């Protein structure tokens, strides 16, 4: 297990470094937008990674509602936490890209609005998990996560279904991408997915240890109360 984690960490570091070089130096400069378009490689990679993590959360939440399994509950929790991190990157890099290109930081475009709504849903999910004292907090959070998961395909398809300011998708939606840009994008997607995987492994171990400590403390409290 430790060897596998080390290999993943090394692969992630190499991909991140190579992806940075490819995005900032090796990738060709876009003719219309210039160098600001290079944000694209991080913006899109973060979005796809966030969508993947929220999909995992959706599946794990349904599994938890059906089986009440601790493992699926932990998977749902950590995928939401890491997913919010990447979704935050999307919401930060988007305006940084939009301001020089569109002349505005933000517009209530269908894609932007749905992404912001997705972020709010999962932040609410995490707040519920963190601060609720109810014994049913995990169940209520799982129900909320199901609604959040339904927003993922809506968000992805928004620029196909509704006309807005957001650029057309580069896959099957009328957009186009230079072959060299595709190569750089895929490298960065792989790097971000590996980074998310690495963070999820670390977070999973911490959550398991945390719950074991809480169970031990609860047993000790019961034993002391019974004396």
Per-residue pLDDT, 76 = 95
Q: Which of 208, 49, 58 is nearest to 125 (CA)?
A: 58
Per-residue pLDDT, 216 = 87
Are the C-beta atoms of residues 110 and 164 closer than 8 Å to each other? yes
Distances in Å between the Cα of 106 and the Cα atoms of 20, 31, 96, 111 are: 26, 23, 10, 11
Alpha-carbon Rg for the chain, nearest whole angstrom, is 20
Per-residue pLDDT, 97 = 84
Mean pLDDT, consecutive 10-residue segments, the chain of 227 residues? 87 96 89 85 94 96 92 95 96 87 78 89 93 84 90 76 57 64 93 97 94 84 72
- For 29, left (φ over 0), alpha (ψ -120 to 50), or beta? beta
- Domain edges within the chain: 2-220
């Amino acid at each position: 297990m430790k060897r596998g984690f080390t290999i993943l960490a090394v692969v992630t570091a190499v991909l991140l470094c190579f992806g940075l070089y490819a995005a900032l130096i090796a990738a060709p400069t876009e003719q219309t937008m210039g160098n600001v378009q290079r944000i694209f490689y991080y913006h899109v990679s973060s979005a796809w990674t966030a969508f993947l993590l929220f999909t995992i959360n959706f599946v794990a939440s349904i599994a938890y509602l059906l089986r009440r399994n601790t493992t699926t509950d932990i998977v749902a929790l950590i995928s939401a936490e890491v997913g919010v991190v990447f979704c935050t990157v999307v919401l930060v890099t988007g305006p940084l890209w939009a301001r020089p290109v569109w002349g505005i930081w933000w517009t209530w475009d269908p894609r932007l609005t749905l992404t912001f709504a997705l972020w709010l849903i999962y932040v609410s999910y995490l707040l519920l998990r963190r601060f609720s004292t109810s014994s049913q907090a995990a169940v209520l959070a799982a129900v909320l996560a199901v609604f959040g998961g339904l927003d993922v395909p809506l968000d992805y398809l928004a620029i196909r279904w509704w006309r807005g300011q957001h650029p057309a998708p580069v896959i099957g939606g009328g957009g186009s991408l230079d072959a060299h840009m595709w190569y750089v994008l895929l490298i960065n997607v792989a790097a971000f997915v590996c980074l998310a995987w690495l963070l999820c492994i670390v977070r999973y171990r911490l959550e398991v240890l945390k719950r074991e400590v809480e169970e031990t403390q609860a047993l000790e409290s019961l034993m002391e109360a019974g004396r």
